[in-house]
Amino acid sequence: MKIRYFADTDTMLIQFLDAPVVETRDLDEDTILDLDAKGNICSITIEHASKRADAPHFSYEQIAA
């Protein structure tokens, strides 16, 4: 998984899979979902990310099983 924040456009790209995108869906006017041929989520693009997703502040935590 990769998360990229583009400060010049205030856009966040969250990439889950490195797979060819076959379908793109607009979830709302500022959120785009990309799917592969099996319907798996490849990536999510969030516009105005500093307001909508508190970017570029980010925290990651892995919880042990």
Task: Report pLDDT digits (tens) over 46-56.
Answer: 999 999 888 87
Q: What is the CA radius of gyration of the chain?
A: 13
What does the chain come to in residues?
A: 65
pLDDT digits (tens, 9 = 90+) for 30-51: 999 999 999 999 999 999 999 9
The model's confidence at residue 9, banded by pLDDT at 50, 70 and 90, is: very high
Q: Supply the pLDDT for residue 64.
A: 87
* Global pTM exceeds 0.75: yes
DSSP symbol at 39: S
